[in-house]
Structure 1
């Protein structure tokens, strides 16, 4: 193998290793974002449940304050 071909092969191998590292890093980010989304969905469901339980009555159903 000529020196020029060997240098090109080394450059290609280095570029491939760099791409593999970037792909792995991005995969880890995606995994963490998935976990964060799961937590946020659970929090949102909990808050929606609280909001449904704490409904405001229509004015006609409210008892007047004691000073009336």
Structure 2
């Protein structure tokens, strides 16, 4: 009985460690996604500004490029 309880406690400890590790991964990925989203928005703004300077018109966000 004690051996079974020891194994269960050991497995629980491993599972807790795994959950903690995965939680850290998810938190890190969330921060990375926030940074990447900001960068994409910045690049989209730059591209729109360049397009406006080049053509004199402001491109619409859902407008497909002419080559589509």
TM range (shorter): 0.7 to 0.9
Shift of 1:57: 2.1
1:48 paired with 2:48, answer no
What does residue 17 of structure 2 align with? 21
Residue of structure 2 equivalent to 1:66: none
TM-score by length of structure 1 reads 0.76
| Runs of 5+ unmatched residues, structure 1 | 59-68
Question: How many residues in Structure 1 have an aligned counterpart in Structure 2?
Answer: 54
Where has structure 1 moved over 2 Å in runs of 4 or more? none
Which residue of 2 is the match for residue 57 of structure 1?
A: 55
Q: Could you tell me which residue of structure 1 aligns to residue 8 of structure 2?
A: 12
The TM-score normalised by the length of structure 2 is 0.76
Larger Rg: 1
